[in-house]
Amino acid sequence: MSSARAILEYPTEKRDALWQRFRSKLQPHLHLDRTLVSYQANRSHPLFGWFKYREGFSTTLVQTILSQVSDKPATLLDPFAGSGVALFAARKSGWKPIGIELLPVGTFVVDALQAAERVQPTTFKRYVDRAGYENWEDHYDKRFALKHITITRGAFSPRTERAIAGYRAFCKRKVRNPDVRRLLDFACFCVLESVSFTRKDGQYLRWDRRARNGRTKSRFDKGRIPTFKAAIELKLQQIYNDLLNQCQSERPPFAAKRNDHNKCGAIDVRTGSCLHVLPEIPADSIDLVFTSPPYCNRYDYTRTYALELVYLGLNDDDVKTLRQTMLSCTVENKCKEAELAALYGGLNRPRVYDRVKTVFEQQAALYEILDILDSLNERRALNNPNIPRMVRNYFLEMSFVIYELARVVRPGGRVVMVNDNVRYAGQEVPVDLILSNIAAAFGLTTDHIWTLARGKGNSSQQMGTHGRRELRKCVYVWRKQ
């Protein structure tokens, strides 16, 4: 019996019933494509083109959706703020933005971009020019050397390590203006991947064969690796050019008088897991939620952004703790059920915990998938035995997130969410339909599940076994009654 035929024999009745319920809401959106719901459209953006935060969406997507779901700016919340794309784009359109972000990479980027709004191009130009004749290794101080964790050791050549340490020492000792210093620091942060023996590759860091870390057996060659001096000079020039162009055009967020930046307001980013921060936000206080949670796709941000986390001073224990604190989207995440019970018990809201848990347990389509994954696991047909646990944890935690979003959004307000469906061992997990069903249980009506004309193909590994089958990439729009 072929693998494709075997897939058809697994039950799909519950998923089919859910599809029938929401089929009228599944609508292709003519103006959405894969570049808008990903980092790609930000590559030429004067802020978000500086650092490749690949898991984000584009400012154009935010502007497109805002114009369609709201007639006037008010308060916007992004509980998975990432590098702040939704926050900056919303503020530019007159919204009051609030963000929640756990990953230090995201909060560092947001802080750096706000510093950029306050920096005068002429002031920054002095350091751009100076970089041309500085030998960063001459400024080396071991106190500023990167303190590597296990998975980043050997990521740079010895000369690059010394140059990075020297550059950091220079910025700390020679640059008095805190905003300029933060922006110079950010430039170094932006080039870490390009000057390393690594490349971000979905679930992990891919290592170049030239790395001398004692563990690399790959034949992968990422091509020419620039010197730190060449990379940092190019990045500083890019930032300066963008600052200058934006000032000359006199368009926000870069006003011609850069010290006047506070007129458009600071970005309010609250650090921590949204599972803990959302319950602190008053009910009915948010007009629009615009967000993209981590996908249920096994991507581990603590590995793909390991170099940047080390740069920010995290050690092995910090990274392990961060991995477990993040929304469960990797096979290493452990269940947060006891943690959530204690959280809501401490808030004197135990009935909320019971209600959310009940809604989660009523998701028949989800349990149909979980039963299949457990069955496949028993036959060792999954490439990782923790996949069923990850899928269960993901939807349990997202149930609490959605409950809180329904609570904090005012009546008539909306939740806009970007997410992808996933597939394991040929079995599609209809994330869009399951989450929309959970949202309905908490009083959120699905206005639209906008689909992209072109979905996401399955992995080459799954394609060889199960054939090419596209997965829906969607933007959900839920409205509070």
Q: Are residues 132 and 232 in the same domain?
A: yes
Render 370-430 in DSSP notation, one character per residue.
Answer: HHHHHHHHHTT-SSSTTHHHHHHHHHHHHHHHHHHHHHHEEEEEEEEEEEE-EEETTEEE-
Query: What is the number of structural domains in the chain?
Result: 2
> For residues 117 and 251, is the Cβ–Cβ distance under 8 A?
no
Which pLDDT belongs to residue 444? 98
Interhelix angle 387-408/364-378, rounded to 10 degrees, is 160
Which pLDDT belongs to residue 263? 46
Tell me how far apart the alpha carbons of residues 105 and 102 are, in angstroms, rounded to a whole number. Answer: 9
Cα 16 to chain centroid, rounded: 30
Where residue 69 sits, what CATH number does that domain have? 3.40.50.150
Q: Are residues 250 and 277 in the same domain?
A: no
> For residues 423 and 471, is the Cβ–Cβ distance under 8 A?
yes
Which pLDDT belongs to residue 468? 54
Which pLDDT belongs to residue 221? 92
Segments forming the whole domain that contains residue 173: 115-263
Q: Are residues 189 and 95 in the same domain?
A: no
Q: Are residues 82 and 58 in the same domain?
A: yes
Q: Are residues 10 and 140 in the same domain?
A: no
Which pLDDT belongs to residue 460? 44
Q: Are residues 172 and 244 in the same domain?
A: yes
Which pLDDT belongs to residue 230? 97
Which pLDDT belongs to residue 259? 46
Q: Are residues 142 and 250 in the same domain?
A: yes
Instruction: Tell me the pTM.
Output: 0.92
Q: Are residues 283 and 425 in the same domain?
A: yes
- 109: in domain: no
Q: Are residues 43 and 159 in the same domain?
A: no
Residue 398's contacts (CB-CB under 8 Å, 6 or more residues apart) are 293, 327, 435, 438
Average pLDDT for runs of 10 along the chain of length 481? 50 96 93 80 81 87 88 92 95 94 97 95 95 95 97 95 98 96 98 96 85 77 96 97 82 48 72 98 97 94 96 98 96 96 97 98 98 95 96 98 98 96 94 98 97 62 56 95 88
**SS3 call for 477:** strand
Q: Are residues 465 and 371 in the same domain?
A: yes
- 107: in domain: no
Q: Are residues 134 and 80 in the same domain?
A: no
- 144: in domain: yes
Which pLDDT belongs to residue 467? 52
Q: Which has the closest alpha carbon to 318: 104, 55, 54?
A: 104
Q: Are residues 164 and 221 in the same domain?
A: yes
